[in-house]
Each structure stands twice: as structure tokens, then as C-alpha cells.
């Protein structure tokens, strides 16, 4: 076996693939070949590092140098300079957003430094398409330990003692769930891995499947052993082709190795895993819908009880765990419940993977111990808010969750605290918004999502989400009334209390939590017909900057509704009442003389408050140069 | 057994009982909408919500298994508020055309809205507007009135195993409908109409033919005759508040006379003729000179279409004898026209049936053997009741009238055609008399009379043992057909009726918008069948071939059963049909969202 001087890991996760890492990998392999470095440099396809916004990313060991946004054209330089001469390519290094300094060592990057990786440990460290690499990192040792040295009850006790809770959203004790499935009568039993990740912006399950598929397979086998099941299914969405193909490769390799199949580790235990593709309905993440979908039926929930542990797939006892939950299992079995329970907080053990997205420097996947503060996540790991903007709100739990505001920056991120403040852990989507985000628009966006994804089975969710969306839309269009706000609150309550499944029960959360913390902003839309963030289109106003307008008349001709008044060589103006805010004039104007801005607040009498206009104009001075309102 | 407490009342029920059933046992009335006992228990409408102690949200009582120590509250102000609000949401996606709706005053949604004191909606908004599918001769689908309870889907799929409906689309746009939102006429729909019986609103209803009949009655040149099916006489009274299953034959005849029908005939006469032909056909088959065995009855048009769609290989087994309605229809325009001296094109022939498939049957192209359409209009029990109401007739107080001659007298055998197993019994009475002579032993008849879903019997007729089976809904029929196809069972004669409980439970019968309708219908079917057997026992002639008017018909007009003329007029051919066709131009996939106030110009 050759002794390699360098190991170069090129990320092949979906994020980097879509920013072009296939080309980078190909160029690197070719260069290494061409420069006769094949026996000195080993090129490894790796899973996701998590730092997707810097992709395609590459890491060079032993130095641990982290190259970002690498293009195939950069590869020559990396090979010539770094791999041949040991000289780092400075310009491709990550630059710290705060200090603007280049960071050479991967471990010094705050995004990675603050993490504690258990679930993501192998992601970005091994080649997910090579079972040997997984085994080298103690892979399948937990399975061996479980089936040869432990009884099923001991396995379950270990999981129970670890304090692991479901990472898919509910936060139910995993050990207890396993115990129910063990105790349930009926044969055969099934183990299902729920990989139907559907929250907008969340992709931790995808990354785990892409970067470390064997950990999930191993965990399913351990679960099968613990509850007495011999058949597992991974229910994964068809929109995750990379994850599916890596799973298929992993399953084939595990079968070839004799790990998956009959007589596992010489025992009588046998297990098989099959993949079932989902068509991407959000509701299929709900366990009873998922089961129906596997059975070939329309993905819709059914009332519980009976719970799947008693009556699940094909009416048999079924254990359903989420990908991230499962990925914890091998480590718990290997290192013990006590070790796991030492991480995290009193009631939330271990770590949690979050998908950072939105108005934040470092978007991507991070894994932190439970109880880490939101401030730590946003301002340390996440590098803070770009462009010096102010943090406004973080949405956790996606469309089922709620918002966290500045006052929550120091609360620990753990199940119960999040629920207390009206949000939820959810699957770990964390979307950061700055002062330019309109809270009503955010609530409207999430409601649009749940309205679209509602299966339509139960009345409150089918019609209630539609009605909530209608009210929110009205408000963003400046047509809302104060009664709408009461109606919205009461409707949210009705939908939350009476819906059939978790989708409907949690659908009003974005509305309720934003109403709780940002009622003023709602009222501003309603009373003042004013969107403070300047997002809601119908509440915008288009104005012509007198100093830039050359009175060319192009905008006047372009306007579809004749809202622009003026004549040649005469300053043009826009009639706000006629304007439909289409923005056609803005794109047509060759002099950038048309400003798109928020409509000034109106006083209760309907008059424009001039002091406010002036203040508005000043506050917008930097982005809009000088805004002059024509009213 | 499990013990629980509902509204402070302790109760002990068997494990597996739902909270809704337990509450009913206590006499506590929890409202339901999507629930159909044992058929549709999906907890989707959220009207039966109750408080379960220790549970954060309200729980649907219909699907909640009673468990030891449960504490349930069914009518707290909180529960009532939530139910009312859910109902308001349902109503906000429902057209408000109650006044002109088929189910006005007999609608479960309307009843609940009234019960919950709803006089306005807190949340109004866009509602779904779908095109109406009225291409089928039998039933009309108005998806805009659908409340997505899915009872039609489960009844069609699980009880009748025809399964033409499922949910289409998702979320707010979702609606029940045939595959690809095609017209019902393009599906293997048997037009049995059970979906209409279970529909809580008028999203599914019969195609109303009363106007056709009124027009004919108005025309002084038209001679309008009507034949009334056996089971109408035991269900029509229910439409006028009379006890279930009460025999109202005489009142019905008087009502029809007063409405202006020129002749009121008994369809049971057609049934007697049907037995003459069908038993002769069976005898020929038993003697090895006819078609293959078993012989299937063909008097139920729903079953005939089911067979044509799903079991085309059984076509030679289907009796070629027409149904009583069609036999009667062709005789009216030939035999009766001749006796009465009226040109058949001046005769308008109406039938009143417990069935909407009869509308489809009458419209079949092959049923024009008299040279004209044999039956011009088919009314259901419900439509006839509407006409009687319009005529201002006080039905319950009417004196008894008598059927007109010569097609107004029937034997008891003809009358029991309306009950499940009745056709079989009628045929056996005649067959026994022909083969052995005399009355068939009562205990043999009991075997085919019971209310079991599927009945089998071996009846000894001299040296011959006749093996018979009766299936009383299409789901059972499918099982039976599969057994015959797989040669797991052998029979000589099989009676199949599409509807649960046969014609007494037909898709054209009265609809009840009370609670727990499904089990109510089962009771209704029993009481109606009892009424029919009572009518049978009062008859002087109990066997079809003893009917003197039938004798006269054969002597004067047809010759003998299975004669050439009988074959021309009373027999037909069946043909295999494709399951799905593409004839309709129903624009089912067009969904619009319209604001109710916008539609009614109420939006400023």
C-alpha cells in the first residue's frame, strides 16, 4: 500500500455538486495523474462538509488546509503549488467575515471550531461509497457488539439511558419508542428510516445519507435486532438522487461483505433493507402517511391510536425513526449511554444538526451540543449577519415551527425551551432573517407552503390553512382590518386544536409566534398601510428622483397602466393610486431614476405624515441616495 | 371489557368499542358527518371532537378506541365552540344554494348548521367551483357541494368493490371523483346509486326526470301509463312520515290516479312474466339444451353492468330474459297498445323504481323492441314523492285504490322480487311446481330468505338437486363470481342484486339525514322486506305461472314461454364493455376559485 503524502478530500455532496464539484474532482484526478503524483496524492470523494455556501470545497491533509469555491481552473495551481511544493494557495482560503483574514487551518474556522460532530463525524471525512473507510472508522462495530454481546433489552436500555430523543420533530424518547415496538405483538415487524425531509431549507438528513449512509444502515440493523424485526425500509424522497444512489451502493457493499443479510456476525440474526422512494409530499414525513405511501396508497395520515408501533406497515408493528436519530445509534452503542448523556442539557441529550440558511454569513450544516445558545450559532459559527444589518428573527422548525427574536438569543437550543417560547426544534431548519425581512410576509410564505402541502383530508387543515393564507395575503396587500387579526388568531387556534395530524396542528405556529412577538408590525400593515421592511409589494411606492430623471419618457411608454405622468423635457411623476407596482419602469429607466421604496405611513386621517416621510427618506439614504417623494 | 367515564357517566364496554359507540350506548348524541359505521371511520371531518382528559388537543370520537380509565367530555362549551368553528370552515367552502338544492331540508350539513346555530361565517373566502357532471343517465355529480367526507369512496370501494371514486388533487383543491376527473359515464360505474344514499349533501344525486313526466301528463294526446316496482309500495310512505316498511300500495295508486296517469299498472306483473321466461330458460339449461350453468339472474341492471364490465366471460351465463321493467315496457307498447287500441307512439310509458340504474337500463339502445323506446321515463321513489308533494296530495289520508287491468295483477312471487332472495324464491316456486308439482317446502325457502350477505342452498326437486346461491351486494357478488370462475364452487342458479338488501335498499329509495345513517338503512331494508313478504302472503296466487292475467297474455299474444315472439320482445343480449371509455366532454379538471361574495356581487 503506497504511503500517500497528501489526502485531498473533494466534497461530493449535493450542495457542492450543484456548484460544480464534479468538474473539480475530474480536473484534480487528471492533474494528479498527469503530474505523476498518483502514488503520493490520494484523491477522495467525500460527503458533505456542511459549509455549502463556500462550495465547491476541498480539504488537503495532513495540513488540514481548506480551499473554498474551487473551480476546475484553480486545480492546476493547487497541484503545482500546494501538492508539489507545499505552498498553500492563499487566494482560495476562507476569509473570516469579521477580520477579513485568510484562515489556513480548517480547525481555526469558527464555523467548524464551534461544532461538536457526532452524527456528522464521518461526513466529509470518508468516502461514502467505500465501506472499508466506514469500517476503518469503527463502522459496524456497534452492530457486532449489539448482536454478539447484548440482548435486545440491553440495547434498548442503552438507548433509553442515553436520553436520545427523536430528531425528526416530535422529540419523543427513542428508547421508549423501541420498547413499545419490542413489546408489540405481531409478526413480522418492520423498521423504517424516515428520510422524507421536507422543511424548506433543511438538508441534514440528505447530507447524512450522502456522506455517511452506512451509519444509518447499521443503526437500522441494531434497531431490527432490538425489536425483533428482519426487514427495514428507507423511505427517501426521489428528489435526493445522490442520497439514493449512495444508499444503494452502501447496501450492495454491506451485502457483499456479508454484513447485511443472513447470519449476521455468525449469529442467527438476519436483516434486509430496501429503499422506497417518496414523491416529495411534505405530509409523507408524518409517520402514518409515510406508511400508507410505502404501501402504495395516497399519502395521508390516519388517526392515532393505534400507533405504528402497534399497527404500522401492512398492519404490523413498525418502528419509525428519522435519519439523524438513527445516525446517533452506533455511537451510543459503541461509546455508551453515559458518554452520550454527558453531552447536551438536562432533558435534551447529545447534539443537534442545524441547517443554517437565510441572512447569515456562513450558511450550511452545523452540529452543536444541545443547549448551545442561538447567539453562539448565529454570531460565532454563522459569522453574523451580512452587510452590517440587524438580526431580526430566526425561524426554527420550518413551516411547523416558530420564530425566535432578539430576546431569545441567549436561550439554550433544546426541545423544551423552544416549545416554551412558542417555537419548536423541528428537524433543525434554522432560517435567519435580518431587518429587511417583513414578518407578515414570512408568515404568509410559510402558510402558503402548508396550504400547498396539506393533503386535504381533515377540514381544519384543508380549509383553515387556506383561510389563514387569505387573511395574511389581505394584510400584506394593505387590505387587512383589525378584525382580521382577531379572526386570524382564533382561526389559528381552531386549526391547531382540531387538525388530524402534525401538519395541521403545527401549521399555525408561524402565525401565532409572529403575532406574539411582532403584533406591531402586523398593525402597521393594517392601520398605516405600511410595510416597515419594505417587502410587501402592494405597499411599496415607486417614485422618480428629480435629480436623475432626464424626462426621456421611456418609463411613461413602458407603464402598462398609464400611471406615469409627464411630457418631454418635463419632470415625470408616478401616480401612486394608479400604479400596480409591477416594477416595469424601474427596469426600463436607463438613468436609475426610479426608486422602489416603502410607502410612507399614513396618519389615521389618511394624510401623509410629513415628518415620517422625511425620516423614512433619511433612513434610506444610503441605499437609495436621495429619495424624494412626489406627493 | 374496559371501563371509562363519559360526561360523568361510568360505562363498561367491550375492548375495541369506539368512544362514539360507547357514548351512543349511554344515549349521548355526538354529531358526526364523515362517519359511516364500520364502513367509513376516518376521523376526517372533525365534527365528532371530544375532550379526552390528559390530552392537549380534542380527539375524534368516531375513531378513538375506548381505553381503561378514559375520561371523556362530549359537550363542554369548549367542545361545542370548536365543533361549530370546524363546521363554519366547512360551510365556507360550500355553495349557499340550499333553496334550490336537491337535498334542501334533508341534508346532513344543513341539519348540523341549524343544530349549531350558525347564522354567519367568521371566515369567508374563495371556494372551489367545479363543473357539474350530468352526462350519466342515472346520476349527477356536483363536486362543488362535496364536503370530502369520502363516504362515497369507501362505499363504492369497500362494499361494492367497484371503486370508481377516489380523492383527486391535494389540500384545498382536493375533491372526490372518478379517475382523471372524468365523467361518471366513462367509468365502470354500475349506477347502483349507493353513493347517493350515503352522500350527506347533494354532491351526488339522481338525475331528476320529473319534468319529462309532467310534460307527458300535460299533453292531452298522450296516454300516460305507469308501472310501479314492488319495493315502492313499502318505502314510499316513509317519504310522508309513515312507519318504515308500511305497505302503502293502495294510497300510491290513488295518488297516481289523482295526478293524472291514465293507467296505473303493477310492475310485479312484469316480474311474473319474467319468472315465466327465466324459469323456462333455467329448465332448458338444467336439461342440457340451453346455455351453460350456472344461470345468473339479469333483472338487476347494476349487476348486469357490473358483469359486463368485470366478468365478461360470464355473458353466456347471464339469463337473456329482460328485467321486469323492460318486459313491462315492451308489452305496454305492443300487447297493451293492441288491446286498448292506442297507437304505441301515443303511449308514454313511465316506471317508478327504487333504483337509479333503471334509468340507465331504460336508456340502453337495445331496449327498443316494441319499435319505440320501451320505457320513456324512470322515476325513483324520491322523485315520485316530490311529484306527489307538488300535487298537494295528503298522502297519508288517501283512500286505497286498485291497479288497472290487465297488467295490474301480480302473484305473490312477483311482489317479493323487491326483496333480496325474492327473485330466487319466485323462480324456485315455479320451478318446483314444474319439476315436482305442488308447493316447495317452506324450510327450503327459509334458506334463501335470511338476511345474510351471501346465501347458498341445495334444493331437492325430485331426482334433481338444484344448487342455488344469492348475493345481495356487488362486493359479495364479486366473491361469488371469483369462486365460480376458479371452480371452487358449483351452482345451477345464482341471484345477484347490486345493492345491499337488494331493491329495498336501492339507490333510489328515501334518504335519511339522521345520525348513523348506515345502520339505519340496514334496519330499513329489513322492515321493507318484511312488508313485501306480508303483501305476498295476502295474495291469492303465490306462483307466477298461476297468475290468470299472465296465462291470458301467453294465450292471446305470446304463445308460450320462450316462443319466437317472447324472444323478440322479452329477451335481450348482453355485451362485454370496456372498463373506461372516453366519450364524455365533462370538463372535470377545471377548478376555479371564486369568492362567494364576488359571485353574488356583494364585494365592494
Size of chain B in residues: 604
CB neighbourhood size of A265 (10 A): 14
Which tens digits make up the pLDDT trace of B214-247? 999 999 999 999 999 999 999 999 999 998 889 9
- pLDDT for position A422: 84
- pLDDT for position A320: 97
Distance CA B258, CA B460 (A): 48
Which tens digits make up the pLDDT trace of A447-481? 999 999 999 999 999 999 999 999 999 999 999 99
Q: Is B199 labeled as catalytic in the residue annotation?
A: no
Q: Phi and psi dihedrals of B73, rounded to 5?
A: -125, 125
SS3 B550: helix
The owner of cell 434554522 is A430
Going by the DSSP 8-state scheme, the letter that residue A525 receives in this structure is H
Is the confidence at residue A615, as pLDDT, over 70?
no
Tell me if B576 sits within 8 A of B308, measured CB to CB: yes
Is B172 within 8 Å of A305 when comparing Cβ atoms? no
* Sign, CA torsion A523/A526/A531/A535: positive
Tell me if B90 sits within 8 A of B145, measured CB to CB: no
Which among B136, B231, B279, B319 is annotated as catalytic? Answer: B319
Tell whether omega for the bond before A305 is within 30 degrees of 0, i.e. cis. Answer: yes
Chain A interface, Cβ < 8 Å to B: 281, 298, 302-303, 305-306, 451-460, 462-467, 470-471, 487, 490-491, 494, 496-500, 505
- Complete DSSP assignment for A427-466: T-EEEEEETTS-HHHHHHHHHHHHHHH--S-SHHHHHHHH
Is the confidence at residue A234, as pLDDT, over 70?
yes
Q: Nine-digit cell at A628?
A: 424624494
Q: Is B358 labeled as catalytic in the residue annotation?
A: yes
Which among B238, B246, B277, B281 is annotated as catalytic? Answer: B281
Which residues on chain B are in Cβ contact (under 8 Å) with A463? 89-90, 92-93, 172
- A66 closest CA partner among A14, A103, A23: A103
Distance CA A357, CA A354 (A): 9
Chain centroid offset of residue B311 CA: 22
* Closest-CA residue of chain B to A453: B171
Number of cross-chain residue pairs from A and B with Cβ atoms under 8 Å apart = 105
- pLDDT for position B461: 87
* B394: closest CA of chain A, how far (Å): 42
- pLDDT for position B601: 59
E strand residue ranges, A119-259: 190-195, 231-237
Is A459 within 8 Å of B90 when comparing Cβ atoms? yes
Is the confidence at residue B463, as pLDDT, over 90?
no
- pLDDT for position B235: 93
Tell whether omega for the bond before A375 is within 30 degrees of 0, i.e. cis. Answer: no
Is the confidence at residue B367, as pLDDT, over 80?
yes
Is the confidence at residue A23, as pLDDT, over 80?
yes
Which tens digits make up the pLDDT trace of A289-337? 999 999 999 999 999 889 999 999 999 999 999 999 999 999 999 999 9
Q: Which helix (H) or strand (E) holds B442?
A: helix B442-449
Q: Nine-digit cell at B292?
A: 351453460
When pLDDT is averaged across residues A51-57 and rounded to a whole number, the result is 90
Size of chain A in residues: 631
Residues 6+ apart with CB under 8 A from A207: A13, A14, A47, A48, A50, A120, A123, A365
SS3 A9: strand
Q: Is B361 labeled as catalytic in the residue annotation?
A: yes
B522: confidence class by pLDDT, cuts 50, 70, 90? low
Q: Is B85 labeled as catalytic in the residue annotation?
A: no
Residues 6+ apart with CB under 8 A from A486: none
Is the confidence at residue A629, as pLDDT, over 50?
no
Which tens digits make up the pLDDT trace of A139-152? 999 999 999 999 99
* A64: closest CA of chain B, how far (Å): 49
Q: Nine-digit cell at B356?
A: 337509479
Tell me if B582 sits within 8 A of B186, measured CB to CB: yes
- pLDDT for position B523: 67
Which tens digits make up the pLDDT trace of A137-191? 999 999 999 999 999 999 999 999 999 999 987 789 999 999 999 999 999 999 9
Residues 6+ apart with CB under 8 A from B300: B323, B357, B496, B497, B498, B502
**Alpha-carbon dihedral angle through residues A399, A401, A406, A411, given to the nearest 10 degrees:** -150
- A207 closest CA partner among A74, A2, A13: A13
- pLDDT for position B584: 64
Amino acid at each position: 500500500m503506497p504511503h500517500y503524502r497528501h489526502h485531498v478530500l473533494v466534497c461530493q455532496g449535493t450542495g457542492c455538486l450543484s456548484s460544480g464539484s464534479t468538474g473539480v474532482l475530474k480536473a484534480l484526478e487528471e492533474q494528479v495523474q498527469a503530474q505523476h503524483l498518483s502514488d503520493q496524492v490520494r484523491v477522495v470523494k467525500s460527503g458533505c462538509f456542511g459549509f455549502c455556501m463556500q462550495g465547491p470545497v476541498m480539504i488537503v491533509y495532513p495540513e488540514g488546509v481548506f480551499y473554498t469555491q474551487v473551480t476546475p481552473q484553480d486545480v492546476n495551481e493547487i497541484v503545482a503549488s500546494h501538492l508539489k511544493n507545499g505552498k498553500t494557495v492563499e487566494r482560495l482560503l476562507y476569509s473570516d467575515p469579521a477580520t477579513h483574514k485568510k484562515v489556513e487551518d480548517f480547525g481555526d474556522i469558527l464555523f467548524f471550531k464551534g461544532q461538536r460532530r457526532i452524527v456528522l463525524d464521518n461526513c466529509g471525512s470518508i468516502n461514502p461509497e467505500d465501506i472499508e473507510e466506514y469500517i476503518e472508522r469503527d463502522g459496524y462495530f456497534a452492530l457486532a457488539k449489539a448482536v454478539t454481546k447484548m440482548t435486545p433489552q440491553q440495547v434498548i436500555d442503552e438507548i433509553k439511558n442515553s436520553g436520545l430523543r427523536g430528531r425528526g420533530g416530535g422529540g419523543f424518547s427513542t428508547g421508549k419508542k423501541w420498547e413499545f415496538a419490542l413489546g408489540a405483538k405481531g409478526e413480522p415487524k418492520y423498521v423504517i428510516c424516515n428520510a422524507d425531509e421536507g422543511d424548506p431549507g433543511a438538508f441534514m438528513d440528505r447530507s447524512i445519507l450522502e456522506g455517511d449512509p452506512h451509519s444509518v444502515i447499521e443503526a437500522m440493523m441494531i434497531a431490527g435486532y432490538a425489536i425483533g424485526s428482519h426487514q427495514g425500509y428507507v423511505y427517501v424522497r426521489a428528489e435526493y438522487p445522490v442520497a439514493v444512489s449512495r444508499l444503494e451502493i452502501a447496501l450492495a457493499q454491506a451485502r457483499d461483505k456479508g454484513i447485511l443479510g443472513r447470519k449476521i456476525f455468525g449469529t442467527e440474526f438476519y436483516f434486509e433493507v430496501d429503499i422506497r422512494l417518496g414523491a416529495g409530499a411534505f405530509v409523507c414525513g408524518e409517520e402514518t402517511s409515510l406508511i400508507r405511501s410505502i404501501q402504495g396508497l395516497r399519502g395521508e395520515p390516519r388517526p392515532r391510536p393505534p400507533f405504528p408501533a402497534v399497527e404500522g406497515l401492512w398492519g404490523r408493528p413498525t418502528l419509525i425513526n428519522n435519519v439523524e436519530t438513527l445516525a446517533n445509534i452506533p455511537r451510543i452503542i459503541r461509546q455508551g449511554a453515559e458518554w452520550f448523556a454527558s453531552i447536551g442539557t438536562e432533558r435534551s441529550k447529545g447534539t443537534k444538526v442545524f441547517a443554517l440558511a437565510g441572512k447569515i454569513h456562513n450558511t450550511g450544516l452545523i452540529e452543536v451540543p444541545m443547549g448551545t445558545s442561538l447567539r453562539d450559532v448565529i454570531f460565532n459559527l454563522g459569522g453574523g449577519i451580512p452587510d452590517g444589518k440587524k438580526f431580526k428573527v430566526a425561524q426554527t422548525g420550518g413551516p411547523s415551527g416558530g420564530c425566535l427574536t432578539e430576546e431569545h438569543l441567549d436561550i439554550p437550543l433544546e426541545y423544551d425551551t423552544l416549545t416554551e417560547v412558542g417555537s419548536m426544534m423541528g428537524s433543525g431548519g434554522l432560517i435567519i432573517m435580518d431587518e429587511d425581512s417583513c414578518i407578515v410576509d414570512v408568515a404568509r410564505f410559510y402558510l402558503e407552503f402548508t396550504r400547498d402541502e396539506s393533503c386535504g383530508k381533515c377540514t381544519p387543515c384543508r380549509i383553515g390553512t387556506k383561510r389563514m393564507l387569505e387573511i395574511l395575503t389581505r394584510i400584506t396587500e394593505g387590505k387587512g382590518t383589525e378584525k382580521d387579526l382577531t379572526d386570524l388568531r382564533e382561526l389559528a387556534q381552531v386549526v391547531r386544536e382540531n387538525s388530524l395530524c402534525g401538519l395541521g396542528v403545527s401549521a399555525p405556529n408561524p402565525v401565532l409566534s409572529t403575532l406574539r412577538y411582532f403584533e406591531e408590525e402586523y398593525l402597521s400593515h393594517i392601520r398605516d398601510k405600511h410595510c416597515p421592511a419594505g417587502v410587501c409589494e402592494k405597499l411599496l411606492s415607486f417614485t422618480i428622483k428629480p435629480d436623475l430623471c432626464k424626462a426621456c419618457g421611456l418609463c411613461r411608454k413602458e407603464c402598462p397602466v398609464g400611471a406615469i405622468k409627464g411630457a418631454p423635457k418635463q419632470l415625470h411623476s408616478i401616480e401612486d393610486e394608479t400604479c400596480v407596482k409591477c416594477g416595469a419602469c424601474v427596469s426600463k429607466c436607463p438613468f436609475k431614476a426610479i426608486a422602489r421604496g416603502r410607502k410612507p405611513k399614513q396618519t389615521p386621517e389618511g394624510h401623509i405624515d410629513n415628518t415620517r416621510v422625511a425620516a423614512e427618506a433619511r433612513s434610506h439614504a444610503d441605499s437609495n441616495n436621495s429619495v424624494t417623494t412626489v406627493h | 371489557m374496559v371501563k371509562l367515564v363519559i360526561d360523568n357517566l361510568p360505562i363498561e364496554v367491550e375492548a375495541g368499542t369506539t368512544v362514539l359507540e360507547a357514548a351512543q350506548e349511554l344515549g349521548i348524541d355526538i354529531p358526526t358527518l364523515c362517519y359511516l359505521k364500520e364502513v367509513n371511520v376516518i376521523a376526517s371531518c372533525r365534527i365528532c371532537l371530544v375532550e379526552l382528559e390528559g390530552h392537549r388537543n380534542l380527539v375524534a370520537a368516531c375513531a378513538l378506541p375506548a381505553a381503561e380509565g378514559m375520561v371523556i367530555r362530549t359537550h363542554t362549551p369548549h367542545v361545542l365552540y370548536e365543533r361549530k368553528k370546524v363546521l363554519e370552515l366547512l360551510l365556507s367552502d360550500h355553495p349557499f344554494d340550499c333553496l334550490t338544492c336537491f337535498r334542501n331540508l334533508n341534508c346532513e350539513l344543513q341539519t348540523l348548521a341549524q343544530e349549531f346555530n350558525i347564522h354567519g361565517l367568521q371566515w369567508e373566502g374563495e371556494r372551489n367551483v367545479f363543473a357539474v357532471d350530468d352526462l350519466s343517465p342515472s346520476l349527477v355529480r356536483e363536486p362543488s357541494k362535496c364536503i370530502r367526507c369520502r363516504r362515497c369512496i369507501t362505499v363504492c370501494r369497500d362494499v361494492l368493490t367497484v371503486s370508481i371514486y377516489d380523492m383527486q388533487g391535494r389540500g384545498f383543491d382536493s375533491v372526490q371523483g372518478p379517475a382523471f376527473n372524468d365523467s361518471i359515464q366513462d367509468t365502470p360505474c354500475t349506477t347502483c346509486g349507493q353513493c347517493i344514499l350515503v352522500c350527506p349533501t347533494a354532491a351526488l344525486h339522481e338525475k331528476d326526470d320529473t319534468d319529462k313526466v309532467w310534460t307527458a301528463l300535460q299533453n292531452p294526446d298522450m296516454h300516460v301509463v305507469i308501472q310501479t316496482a314492488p319495493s315502492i309500495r313499502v318505502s314510499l310512505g316513509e317519504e310522508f312520515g309513515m312507519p318504515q316498511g308500511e305497505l302503502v300500495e293502495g294510497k300510491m295508486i290513488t295518488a297516481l290516479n289523482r295526478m293524472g296517469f291514465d293507467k296505473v299498472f303493477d310492475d310485479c306483473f312484469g316480474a311474473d312474466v319474467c319468472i315465466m321466461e327465466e324459469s323456462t330458460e333455467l329448465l332448458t339449461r338444467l336439461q342440457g339444451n340451453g346455455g351453460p350453468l350456472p344461470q345468473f339472474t339479469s333483472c338487476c341492471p347494476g349487476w348486469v353492468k357490473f358483469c359486463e364490465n368485470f366478468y365478461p366471460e360470464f355473458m353466456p351465463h347471464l339469463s337473456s330474459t329482460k328485467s321486469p321493467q323492460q318486459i313491462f315496457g315492451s308489452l305496454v307498447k305492443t300487447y297493451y297498445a293492441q288491446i286498448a287500441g292506442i297507437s304505441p307512439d301515443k303511449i308514454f310509458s313511465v316506471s317508478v323504481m327504487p333504483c337509479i340504474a333503471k334509468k340507465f337500463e331504460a336508456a340502453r339502445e337495445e331496449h327498443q323492441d316494441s319499435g319505440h323506446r320501451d320505457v320513456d321515463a324512470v322515476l325513483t321513489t324520491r322523485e315520485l314523492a316530490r311529484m306527489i308533494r307538488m300535487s298537494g296530495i295528503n298522502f297519508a289520508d288517501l283512500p286505497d285504490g286498485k291497479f288497472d287491468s290487465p297488467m295490474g295483477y301480480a302473484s305473490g312471487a312477483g311482489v317479493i322480487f323487491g326483496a333480496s332472495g325474492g327473485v330466487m324464491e319466485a323462480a324456485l316456486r315455479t320451478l318446483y311446481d314444474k319439476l315436482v308439482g305442488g308447493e316447495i317446502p317452506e324450510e327450503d325457502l327459509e334458506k334463501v330468505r335470511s338476511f345474510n350477505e351471501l346465501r347458498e342452498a341445495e334444493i331437492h326437486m325430485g331426482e334433481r338437486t338444484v344448487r342455488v346461491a344469492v348475493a345481495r351486494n356487488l362486493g359479495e357478488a364479486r366473491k361469488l363470481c371469483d369462486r365460480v370462475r376458479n371452480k371452487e364452487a358449483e351452482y345451477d342458479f345464482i341471484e345477484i342484486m347490486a345493492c345491499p338488501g337488494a331493491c329495498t335498499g336501492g339507490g333510489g329509495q328515501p334518504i335519511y339525514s339522521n345520525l348513523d345513517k348506515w345502520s339505519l338503512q340496514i334496519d330499513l331494508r329489513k322492515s321493507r322486506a318484511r312488508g313485501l313478504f306480508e303483501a305476498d302472503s295476502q295474495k291469492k296466487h303465490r306462483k307466477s305461472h298461476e297468475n290468470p292475467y299472465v296465462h291470458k297474455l301467453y294465450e292471446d299474444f305470446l304463445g308460450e314461454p320462450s316462443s319466437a315472439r317472447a324472444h323478440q320482445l322479452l329477451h335481450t343480449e348482453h355485451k362485454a364493455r370496456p372498463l373506461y371509455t372516453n366519450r364524455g366532454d365533462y370538463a372535470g379538471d377545471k377548478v376555479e376559485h371564486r369568492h362567494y361574495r364576488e359571485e353574488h356581487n356583494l364585494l365592494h
